[in-house]
Amino acid sequence: MKTIVLASNNKNKIKEFKDILPDYDIKTLEDIEFFDEIEETGKTFFENALIKAETIHNYLKEKNLDYIVISDDSGLCATALNGEPGVYSARYSGKHGDDKGCREKLIKNLEGKDKEAYFVCNIVVYYPDGTYKSFEGKTYGEILDKERGNNGFGYDSIFLSRDLGKSFGEVSNEEKNKVSHRYRAIKAMLEEL
């Protein structure tokens, strides 16, 4: 079984990767004893994914470990808000990880505007030799005026998926993982690998 280091401690993200990649041994940052905060200073999803992947690649190199590193940066983009919240999706409310506050702010900012939106996931695969490749996935839909469903995380309960006709909060992980931005980026990555 091939080992990959996933440059994340986000439990929801780790679960999605493990569900979509059952044939890989996925190690988390905790597993490799990396506890520093990685500052995401990029202006795009790709730049942030690359910063995380490169940081972990360098950390593994110092420890003489030759693992492939996978990093992703993802978020929600509302067309009427010029792509907001975008790379600031997790901290849109002003506080990192305040999912409810982020959802409420987005709903308020879209009042009276077009509700079209899409999720983006950019994955960087960083190889032990220092080369890397990038893959992107998107899924389209619209923002609901109120939450629907209790599943998922982040913006899932207010994102009405065009593919499913339901919010990501109303569907199972299995259903979401067949059409999600992360699934599509991982699928593109697997085709390349």
Indicate the pLDDT class of residue 77, thresholds 50, 70 and 90.
Answer: very high
* Amino acid found at 96: H
Indicate the pLDDT class of residue 82, thresholds 50, 70 and 90.
Answer: very high
The rounded distance, in Å, linking the Cα atoms of 66 and 86 is 32
pLDDT digits (tens, 9 = 90+) for 45-59: 999 999 999 999 999
Mean pLDDT computed over 32-38: 94
- Based on the residue annotation, tell me whether 163 is a catalytic residue of this protein: no
Q: 176 pLDDT exceeds 80?
A: yes
Q: Are 110 and 148 in contact (CB under 8 A)?
A: no
Mean pLDDT computed over 61-82: 95
Residue in 25, 66, 72, 73 annotated catalytic: 73
- Could you tell me the two tokens for 48? 């942030």
- Alpha-carbon distances of 135 from 5, 64, 73, 132, rounded to whole Å: 17, 27, 11, 10
Q: Which of 192, 189, 193, 191 is nearest to 71 (CA)?
A: 189
- Could you tell me the two tokens for 133? 């490749």
CATH entry 3.90.950.10 includes domain 2-192:
yes
Q: What does pTM read for this prediction? A: 0.89
Mean pLDDT computed over 11-34: 90
The percentage of residues in the chain with a pLDDT greater than 90, rounded to a whole number, is 81
